[in-house]
Structure 1
């Protein structure tokens, strides 16, 4: 996995108005990208710590997040990959491991025999509940501390969805 290079201090003075050739905007955007990457890594560390605390070393954080994102659905591996955040991991390999460990059930699709559909087993549902509980605890604690109020998290999510839509459009224009 490649990490974004820290923003060069000589690249921009973030205190300058955004109208200065967009340098401040670029610096803020680069900082946001770095924060997203660090948050993702920290989320995986939090999941890892939770499983260690519970004495469960059978799953790595990526596998636990795959189970969490699979949820109640029955999907193809491709759909699961597009839903989740599996930075630096091989989803197919991890799904194969999860099947062999009894967390995921898989079967060939009746309509397209090349496609495999996956869903959680009861053991997979238990892991999903652990991750869900962790996320809910954090949400409650952050809400009580007021961290999620300014700006409101719903606005932050709206901004992130807009960036996601822009990036998706950029990828489409390449092809």
Structure 2
């Protein structure tokens, strides 16, 4: 085993192969970071909610509420925004409806379709997540050293990677 720049243990076979292919090294590091960053974001949200005594909503549900925002949409539309898998959305929306964070109504045009939107209770959770992000933004440039330009480059690269993966699925590349 060998420790990479991110502190992850890599088997020697992978290390040897990636030395010959530096793009693979960076690609695998990026994949690891993407997964780790999402888990860490959930941890940050969980910690913030636990500190304030908000045990009813888990971090995934809080992000769902944040991403619904002021929209009125279907679970399918929420899924296509790219944040969630279908069963995950359905399960968490059911729990959020039961807890009074989300309203849902059958569409008058298509009875199979259910439209969802936040209740005032859901809006309060959405606002809490937004405040958390605002607190982070107040210091991210000074503490982490990430500027607007670096975020632009990062977002452009991640968007291109997302497009690449989407094309892999759509066109079976």
Superposed pair shares fold, TM > 0.5: yes
CA distance in structure 1 between the aligned counterparts of 2:162 and 2:18, rounded to whole angstroms: 26
Match of 1:66 among 64, 67, 74: 64
Q: What TM-score comes out, normalization by structure 2 length?
A: 0.86
* Superposition CA RMSD, Å: 2.5
1:135 alignment partner in structure 2: 133
CA drift of 1:143 comes to 1.5
Q: Judging changes above 3 Å, is the alpha-carbon distance between structure 1 residues 90 and 114 closer, same or farther for their aligned structure 2 residues?
A: same
- 2:81 is the counterpart of 1:83: yes
Gaps of 5+ in 2: 1-7
The answer (yes or no) to whether the contact 1:14–1:28 under 8 Å persists in 2 is no
Residues 1:116 and 2:84 aligned together: no
Matches within 5 A, 1:28-43: 28-43=26-41
Distance change (3 Å), C-alpha of 1:107 and 1:45: same
Which 4+ stretches in 1 moved above 6 angstroms? none
* Number of aligned residue pairs: 166
Q: Matches of 2:71 and 2:48 in 1, distance apart? A: 24
Question: Where do 5+ consecutive residues of structure 1 fail to align?
Answer: none
Q: TM-score, normalised by structure 1?
A: 0.85
Distance 1:136 1:78, change over 3 A: same
